[in-house]
Amino acid sequence: MLCIAVLITISALAQTGSAATPSSSSALPSAPSATAATTPATGATTGTKVGTININEALFGSNEGQRDMEELSKKFEPKQTELKGKNDELEALKKQLTTQQDKLNDDALATLKKEIESKQKTFDRAVQDAQEDFGNQQQEIATKILQKMAPLIVKYSQDNGFVLVVDTSKPWPQSPVLWWGQSVDITKPVVDAYNVQSGVAAPPPPAGAARPGATKPSPGAGAAKPAAPKTSEPPK
């Protein structure tokens, strides 16, 4: 859904902007150099300039995206605690079945198995509902930021002579882009420009965070969806 929204939003803005002559000056930083296509017969450049952007990384890697995802994660902490409690209860029943099944009579054994199956279904449904709710709210954050970032992406691309910018959020073969060089990636300058435009300060590093310069996980995936620890299937 996000990819479709990105495509529609940016395409519409690009078509609108193409009717006007791009400004010769821009407050945005200059684009990284890109290799121009050449005509095989003559070796002359055609002026074609293609860029890439990781939309997920741009949205959730911006100061605003990081702030909003941190707030969303905190909002779901009570739900995660609730799911962990349900999971612990389920695991305790499964342990009871494993250790006592030889000592229980048929009726007690059947009752215990039925209780485990019922709680397993309830737990699985609760996890699915929580993940869907989290995903929907994550989508709302992405859409809100995209509406403000998309015009900046279009302006940056036009001001820097790009005729095509492709999204590299998904790896090949989910995406048609097999390979690209970092020299044509505009994600960082777009995020830097958006941070200035939004006025949102960079979020403070979490307690115990790695020292500056250490490798950080990609922000493209946003925050982890709420989920309880994996459980085994109910015993037969």
Q: What is the pLDDT of residues 127-171, one digit of tens each?
A: 999 999 999 999 999 999 999 999 999 999 999 999 999 999 998
Residue 214 lies in a domain: no
pLDDT tens digits along 31-44: 554 444 443 433 44
pLDDT at residue number 179: 86
Residue 135 lies in a domain: yes
Residue 176 lies in a domain: no
Residue 125 lies in a domain: yes
Please tell me whether residue 165 adopts helix, strand or coil conformation: strand
Residue 138 lies in a domain: yes
Residues whose CB falls within 8 Å of the CB of residue 171, separated by 6 or more in sequence, listed in order: none
Residue 59 lies in a domain: no
Residue 109 lies in a domain: yes
* pTM of full prediction above 0.75: no
Determine how β-strand 164-167 pairs with β-strand 50-53: parallel
CB–CB of 132/79 below 8 Å? no
In 3D space, the residue among 61, 38, 37, 68 whose CA is nearest the CA of residue 50 turns out to be 37
| Alpha-carbon distances, residue 67 vs 37, 43, 174, 200, 203 (angstroms) | 40, 48, 29, 9, 6
Please tell me whether residue 34 adopts helix, strand or coil conformation: coil
| Pairwise CA distance, residues 139 & 216, whole Å | 23
Long-range contacts of 164-167 (CB under 8 A, 24+ apart): 164/48, 164/49, 164/50, 164/51, 165/50, 165/51, 165/52, 165/53, 166/50, 166/51, 166/52, 166/53, 167/3, 167/6, 167/52, 167/53, 167/54, 167/55
Residue 53 lies in a domain: no
| Pairwise CA distance, residues 137 & 72, whole Å | 8
Domain of residue 3: give its range. Answer: 1-9+81-163+189-198
Total structural domains in the chain?
Answer: 1
Each residue's pLDDT, cut to its tens digit, for the chain (236 residues) gives: 555 445 445 555 445 544 444 443 344 555 554 444 443 433 444 558 999 999 999 999 999 999 999 999 999 999 999 999 999 999 999 999 999 988 999 999 999 999 999 999 999 999 999 999 999 999 999 999 999 999 999 999 999 999 999 999 998 888 888 888 888 999 999 999 999 999 999 988 777 655 544 334 444 444 445 544 444 444 44
